[in-house]
Amino acid sequence: MTYMEQTGTLSEQLGVALKQVMLEQHMGQDELAKAVDVSRRTMNRILNGDVTVTYDRLTRIATALHTRLSTIIQRAEALASKEGEAK
């Protein structure tokens, strides 16, 4: 699955949005996990949409990515919108 593909759940869409920003920031999963102070496994679960992310953690991720939280949310919403149009 590429990062531009549409996904099913909101958590998955958020994960895709985060991966897009990571690519733009040239930040790997290990680096992001360390910056947010979570395990690599936890970060992997967040990026794959396997867990629901708290506001606090999402804010820490956005800060580590040097990106506004609103930008990440907008990307996830755009993916959700595209998903809805495809149905």
- Tens of pLDDT along the chain (87 residues) come to 444 444 468 889 999 999 999 999 999 999 999 999 999 999 999 999 999 899 999 999 999 999 999 999 999 999 888 766 655
Q: Report pLDDT for 39.
A: 97
Q: Is residue 65 part of a domain?
A: yes
Q: Report pLDDT for 9.
A: 83
Q: What is the CATH number of the domain that holds 60?
A: 1.10.260.40
Q: Report pLDDT for 6.
A: 45
Q: Is residue 3 part of a domain?
A: no
Domain extent, residue 39, equals 10-82
Q: Is residue 5 part of a domain?
A: no
Q: 59-64, long-range: CB within 8 Å, 24+ apart, which pairs?
A: 60/36, 61/18, 61/32, 61/36, 64/27, 64/32, 64/35, 64/36
Q: Is residue 30 part of a domain?
A: yes
Q: Is residue 4 part of a domain?
A: no
Q: Is residue 48 part of a domain?
A: yes
Q: Report pLDDT for 84.
A: 60
Task: Count how many domains the chain has.
Answer: 1
